[in-house]
């Protein structure tokens, strides 16, 4: 099956024009037999995953692209005077089939890929980029949009319509709609090449992750590992079909606890070096060349659009607005974070010496000795905590918070066609029993899944065509327990679950008319607010007491342990904040200056300039920094996690100030202005609607224990 799909894709590249025409007709004729093109009439109109094979994707894309082109042509070539209905409404409704096919394809490409699917991905990424560019460079279409935009004050638009029109017009301008013909052609070439580079970047990282495993065949190799990690390493070996009985992979839910607990310093170093060298191992999967070309092309594109740098272009429509504002925020937090990290480093070094270890702390030692110091200072042991953090319990806690805040109820649904046997489905209803959406959770790591955690969707919310409810997915990479045993999460894993669930609620609670405004369709430095804010409820003592129960005894987490966890909340925050900031500063340095030079040298220069302690590395080093190079979603925007952290610290304080973190009035405003509003308001207006003002950085510094550092 895989070979046939690969051959079909390769042969399509060499077809003559008549052959392509024949293939197009054949694709249309086979439409009824292609489940991607059929109407989905099953429960919740969920994609019929069990009927979809890889061979269905290429012809489905052909049909969907052709249909979208026809829809755009009808709008652009209309002889009728432009109206909001015949132009903007029509644009909003166009491309439904392409969105439908693409959602299934990209969902599978991220969570259940293989060589054949990756071949299609390499083929389609630049084609889809070219398709989007053809639309945004369509002069007749843009003239209709511009005509409406110029007459916007006389059109008697609703607030949401005005927002859609403004975003549509500015989006087309930012895509090059005002460029001359030759520049439009060059812009199309750049976008296609960037799409190809982003796809290659992500596939290279995945290949390096799949290609590494650290065997732990003996008890000596597993020295220091808690039982849960030994079991997870055995399950990872089984999942991969490894010859070794136990392996550590580069899944964060395995590699970080291994670096935290392994007594074998030599194995920690081996694992750590593999972890940080993803994407720079030489050969076909090395990403430095992709990075260099990407930066040059982004710089060229920004200059074509009238911006001095790519960062200036990307930030123009965010809350931050300018690279200077981003740098000011990063610099404000960097100084106290670095100072705290140096204090932490000295604590680790002193503890190692106290134990008789004649070593200098290295990056592969940090987590190991940080855990030892945390045990000594706060009597906190990750192995003591994890038995209380079974996946089902923490998922139940996330659901409970959503019910208390927003009246949502989650009911597991069985028997649906799903992407993988590990995926679970939940119907979401409000307090009156009305259907809100379908929530899918795909929580376990596997070799066919890219690393990290993310929220996506198979269908977005809208009211333009009908009252369409969303299908939202959370995808994570937690270590899977052996059959019959509960999967236990670390505190970081639990925070990840709550974080992605916050994104999920942003999609589920969306309540707008227009598809382009729905859910997470907000500025990049606002999109993390709903997710990061949601993490705050995980640490609430009452929630932990109710849901953090021992997976064997069933007893709630002792209050004394909860208090110790709370007391240790700011421990190691210098390290955590510094490793994040290093990545964010490298990102903005790459994109806020003219492109050119060796990006590896530029990375080194930035880290030297800011004085990153040698014992700490970037959270995401450049060759595997998928946030900014496997696509452009967070390019010049990785700072947004910090920007949103300023917002979320202040937003949670709104609840704390009432004395009730589930205060109904505050929750209603949060739902109305943040979770349900999508992009219907400018982000500053949305936050002010909720909080009444904009925040300062003071709350963030206090939450992270950085407020008293020099």
Is the CB of residue 619 less than 8 Å from the CB of residue 451?
A: no
Cα–Cα distance for residue pair 219/652, rounded to 1 Å: 46
Phi/psi region, residue 44 (left: phi>0; alpha: psi -120 to 50; beta: rest), is: left
Written as six digits, the tokens of 48 are 């019929």
Q: Is 357 exposed, middle or buried (0-12, 13-18, 19+ CB in 10 A)?
A: middle
Which DSSP string do the residues of 118-161 spell out, in sequence order?
Answer: HHHHHHHHHHHHHHHHHHHT-HHHHHHHHHHHHTGGGS---HHH
Q: Which residues are catalytic?
A: 500
Cα–Cα distance for residue pair 564/572, rounded to 1 Å: 14
Cα–Cα distance for residue pair 283/123, rounded to 1 Å: 21
* DSSP H/E element including 26: helix 17-29
Is the CB of residue 595 less than 8 Å from the CB of residue 194?
A: no
3-state secondary structure 532-559: HHHHHHHCCHHHHHHHCECCCCCCECCH
Which DSSP string do the residues of 459-489 spell out, in sequence order?
Answer: E--BSSSS-BPPEEEEEEEEPPPPTTSPPBP
Of 123, 120, 89, residue with least CA distance to 104:
120
Cα–Cα distance for residue pair 649/667, rounded to 1 Å: 15
* Bridge partners (DSSP) listed for residue 412: 426
């Amino acid at each position: 099956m895989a070979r046939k799909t690969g051959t079909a894709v390769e042969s399509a590249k060499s077809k003559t024009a008549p052959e392509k025409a024949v293939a197009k007709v054949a694709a249309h004729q086979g439409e009824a037999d292609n489940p991607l093109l059929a109407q989905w009439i099953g429960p919740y109109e969920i994609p019929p995953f069990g009927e979809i094979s890889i061979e269905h994707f290429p012809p489905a894309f052909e049909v969907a692209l052709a249909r979208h082109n026809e829809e755009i042509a009808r709008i652009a070539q209309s002889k009728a005077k432009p109206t909001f209905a015949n132009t903007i409404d029509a644009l909003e409704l166009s491309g439904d089939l392409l969105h439908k096919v693409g959602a299934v394809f990209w969902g599978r490409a991220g969570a259940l890929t293989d060589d054949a699917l990756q071949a299609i991905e390499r083929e389609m990424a630049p084609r889809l980029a070219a398709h989007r560019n053809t639309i945004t460079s369509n002069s007749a279409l843009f003239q209709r949009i511009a005509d409406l935009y110029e007459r916007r004050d006389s059109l008697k638009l609703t607030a949401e319509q005005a927002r859609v029109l403004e975003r549509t017009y500015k989006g087309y301008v930012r895509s090059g709609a005002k460029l001359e013909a030759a520049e439009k052609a060059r812009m199309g070439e750049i976008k296609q090449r960037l799409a190809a580079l982003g796809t290659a970047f992500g596939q290279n990282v995945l290949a390096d992750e799949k290609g590494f495993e650290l065997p732990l065949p003996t008890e000596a190799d597993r020295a220091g590992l808690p039982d849960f990690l030994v079991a997870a390493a055995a399950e990872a070996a089984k999942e991969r079909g490894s010859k070794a009985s136990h392996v550590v992979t580069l899944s964060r839910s395995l590699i970080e606890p291994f670096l935290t607990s392994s007594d074998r310093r030599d194995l920690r170093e081996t694992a750590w070096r593999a972890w940080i060298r993803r994407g720079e191992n030489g050969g076909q999967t090395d990403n430095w060349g992709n990075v260099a070309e990407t930066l040059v092309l982004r710089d060229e594109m920004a200059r074509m659009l009238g911006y001095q740098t790519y960062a200036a272009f990307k930030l123009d429509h965010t809350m931050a607005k300018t690279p200077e504002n981003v740098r000011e925020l990063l610099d404000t937090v960097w100084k106290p974070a670095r100072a705290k990290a140096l204090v932490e480093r000295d604590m680790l070094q002193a503890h190692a010496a106290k134990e008789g270890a004649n070593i200098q702390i290295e990056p592969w030692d940090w987590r190991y000795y940080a855990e030892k110091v945390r045990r000594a200072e706060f009597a906190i042991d990750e192995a003591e905590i994890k038995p209380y953090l079974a996946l089902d319990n923490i998922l139940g806690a996330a659901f409970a918070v959503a019910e208390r805040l927003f009246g949502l109820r989650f009911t597991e649904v069985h028997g649906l066609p799903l992407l993988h046997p590990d995926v679970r489905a939940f119907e979401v209803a409000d307090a009156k029993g009305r259907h809100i959406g379908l929530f899918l959770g795909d929580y376990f790591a596997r070799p066919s899944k890219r690393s990290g955690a993310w929220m996506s969707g198979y269908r977005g919310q809208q009211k333009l065509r009908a009252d369409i409810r969303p299908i939202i997915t959370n995808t994570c990479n937690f270590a899977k327990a052996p059959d019959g045993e509960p999967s236990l999460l670390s505190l970081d894993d639990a925070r990840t679950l709550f974080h992605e669930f916050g994104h999920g609620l942003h999609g589920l609670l969306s309540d707008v008319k227009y598809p382009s405004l729905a859910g997470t369709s907000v500025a990049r430095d606002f999109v993390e607010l709903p997710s990061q804010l949601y993490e705050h409820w995980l640490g609430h003592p009452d929630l932990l007491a109710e849901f953090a129960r021992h997976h064997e005894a069933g007893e709630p987490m002792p209050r004394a342990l909860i208090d110790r966890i709370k007391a240790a909340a700011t421990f190691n925050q210098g390290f955590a904040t510094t490793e994040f900031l290093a990545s964010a500063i490298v990102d903005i340095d790459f994109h806020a200056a003219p492109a050119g030079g060796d990006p590896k040298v530029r990375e080194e220069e930035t880290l030297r300039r800011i004085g990153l302690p040698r014992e700490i590395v970037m959270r995401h080093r450049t060759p595997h920094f998928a946030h900014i190079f496997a696509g452009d979603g967070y390019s010049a925007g990785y700072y947004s996690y910090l920007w949103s952290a300023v917002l979320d610290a202040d937003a949670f304080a709104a609840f704390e100030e009432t004395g009730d973190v589930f205060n109904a009035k505050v929750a209603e405003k949060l739902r109305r202005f943040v979770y349900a509003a999508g992009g219907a308001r400018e982000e500053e207006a949305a936050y002010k609607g909720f909080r009444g003002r904009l925040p300062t950085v003071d709350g963030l510094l206090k939450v992270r224990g950085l407020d008293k550092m020099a």
